[in-house]
């Protein structure tokens, strides 16, 4: 799964709107929406913040889990 689909899935799993997620990350809803659509690169600091918020790893978000 791509990083963009993964951050959308994590948000939807918590029943959060894009606006709520944007508020948590201190960005606009439009900017957050661009992250989910892959139209804007996700800065490292926001990737880390997302991982902490969702209690997961950056590897999980980036799709770098070991596949056995």
DSSP for the chain reads: --HHHHHHHHHHHTT--HHHHHHHHTS-HHHHHHHHHTSSPPPHHHHHHHHHHTTS-HHHHHT-----
Question: What are the pLDDT digits (tens) for 23-54?
Answer: 999 999 999 999 999 999 999 999 999 999 99
Question: What pTM did the predictor assign?
Answer: 0.85
Q: Does 4 score more than 60 pLDDT? A: yes
Q: What percent of the chain has pLDDT over 70?
A: 94
Q: Which pLDDT score, from 0 to 100, does residue 67 have?
A: 55
Q: Which domains does the chain have, with CATH numbers?
A: 3-62 (1.10.260.40)
């Amino acid at each position: 799964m791509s990083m963009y689909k993964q951050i959308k899935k994590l948000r939807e799993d918590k029943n959060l709107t894009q606006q709520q997620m944007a508020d948590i990350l201190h960005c606009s809803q439009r900017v957050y929406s661009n992250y989910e659509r892959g139209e804007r690169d996700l800065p490292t600091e926001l990737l880390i913040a997302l991982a902490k918020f969702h209690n997961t790893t950056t590897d999980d978000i980036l799709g770098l889990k070991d596949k056995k």
